[in-house]
Amino acid sequence: MASSDASTTRNLHRSSADDKQSPMKLNEQDASDNINSLATTDKPSNESGLEYEKRSELKNKATTGKSKNDSDTNIFTLLFLVLGIYASFLSWGLLQERITTTAYEGRYFRASHALAALQSLFASIAGYLMLKYKQKSSVSNSGVKSISLWPSKPVLQGYLFIASCQAVSTPLAYSSLKYVDYVTMLLAKSCKLVPVMAVHVVLYRTRFPGYKYIVVALVSIGVSMFSAGKAVSKSSSGTSINGYLLLLGALILDGVYNTAQDNLFKKYRSEISGPQMMAVLNFFTTLMSTCMFLVSGQVDEVLWFARNHPSIFLDIFVYGICGAIGQVFVFLTLEKFGSIVLVTTTVTRKMFSMLLSVILFNHKLTKSQWIGVGLVFLGIGYEALYKLKK
């Protein structure tokens, strides 16, 4: 999930700026079209009043029909993208839980570095294909070459640092499943705002608006209530401190690399694009995760499953494909409709992922845990609503 959510959602600042410009460009174009229409509909001297009125009425109907068609197209496009995010990431989440929590002859698949490497490989390929498509479209439409695949040395160094954090963060989150259930991991990974703000405040002395601290308070209280709730779906090892420490480490790394992405975009905005970051960042993450996989002793784990339960690799393959496709839908939604629509979509998607996990995998939560879940999503939803009002 880190890869699916992190590498693309850092584009929010840039995409939000694009979103603010796009409606203005559209309005300016509409105004220009209207002026041109008025200039060309002056009544000719040899045209009767009735003929002129009929011609004007036909043009008005054509213009109205075009606007309605554009609106309908936007609605269908948004619906398609939202359904794409839901379908890909709900499937991705269910496969992730099945792969990591299903016992095969009493043995669980714990090759976390292999999962991280495969996920980032597919995402890198998807990002590369999307970048090439955008480059081709840019040249054919405007004759201007778009951002290249390989950026400058400072940007590459930034990508390497971010990829290093991602390559460690994702396996830490997977490893926590030895001690906590999937719902706990999913809830924790929904709280990235807390470590991101903490890193900004501690390292960069950043000041945030008051509503951000309200959001952090709601999320923190919610997570505390969920963690303190009586775990009835797993044994006592399911609430082991080891699992929470692993999740804490993953969240801290998430905060570090999300903050690094923010600063990278601010400093080198003209050299970075979403598809480029998706391709290059995941490429480096693939290399690092593969190296960790080879030296961590997880090769024997994969070979054992290959000999005894090869069917699991179909789930792993589809899991990687779903994650890559989901990232593409996330980027397209961000590009076409902005960060508010994306945040709303991803927040509700995570809620549905949690509900599906509880229903399909028979997790049992106490009342206090449900209240904790509600507080977490209340905080995230409050942030999205505040941004929407702005």
**Residues 19-44, buried b or exposed e (16+ Cβ, 10 A)?**
beeeeeeeeeeeeeeeeeeeeeeeee
**Pick from 300, 301, 299: which is nearest to 290 by CA?**
299
Q: Are 364 and 183 in contact (CB under 8 A)?
A: no
How many residues are listed for the chain in this entry?
Answer: 390
Phi first, then psi: give them for residue 233, nearest 5 degrees.
-95, -10
* Alpha-carbon gap, residue 373 to 226, rounded angstroms: 7
* Alpha-carbon gap, residue 253 to 351, rounded angstroms: 23
* Alpha-carbon gap, residue 333 to 315, rounded angstroms: 27
Q: What is the DSSP letter of 43?
A: P
Give the pLDDT score at 1. Answer: 46
Q: Are 254 and 195 in contact (CB under 8 A)?
A: yes
* Alpha-carbon gap, residue 162 to 68, rounded angstroms: 44
CA angle 338, 339, 342 (to 5 degrees): 95
Q: Are 359 and 35 in contact (CB under 8 A)?
A: no
Rg value, the chain, Cα: 25
- 3-state per-residue secondary structure call for 143-187: CCCCCCCCCCHHHHHHHHHHHHHHHHHHHHHHHHHHCCCHHHHHH
Give the pLDDT score at 362. Answer: 82
Report the predicted TM-score, pTM, of the whole model to 2 decimal places. 0.69
Rounded to 10 deg, the angle between the 339-360 and 312-337 helix axes is: 150
Q: What helix, strand, coil percent values describe the chain, rounded to 5?
A: 85, 0, 15
Cα 7 to Cα 137, 190, 265, 312, 371, distances in angstroms: 23, 15, 12, 27, 30
**Residues 69-87, buried b or exposed e (16+ Cβ, 10 A)?**
eeeeeeeeeeeebbebbbe
**Helices first, then strands: H and E counts in the chain:** 14, 0
Q: Are 171 and 113 in contact (CB under 8 A)?
A: yes
- Provide block-wise average pLDDT over 10 residues at a time, the chain (390 residues): 46 42 39 38 50 56 55 80 93 91 87 93 94 78 65 90 92 88 82 77 80 85 75 49 90 85 81 85 94 94 93 94 92 74 73 83 84 86 73
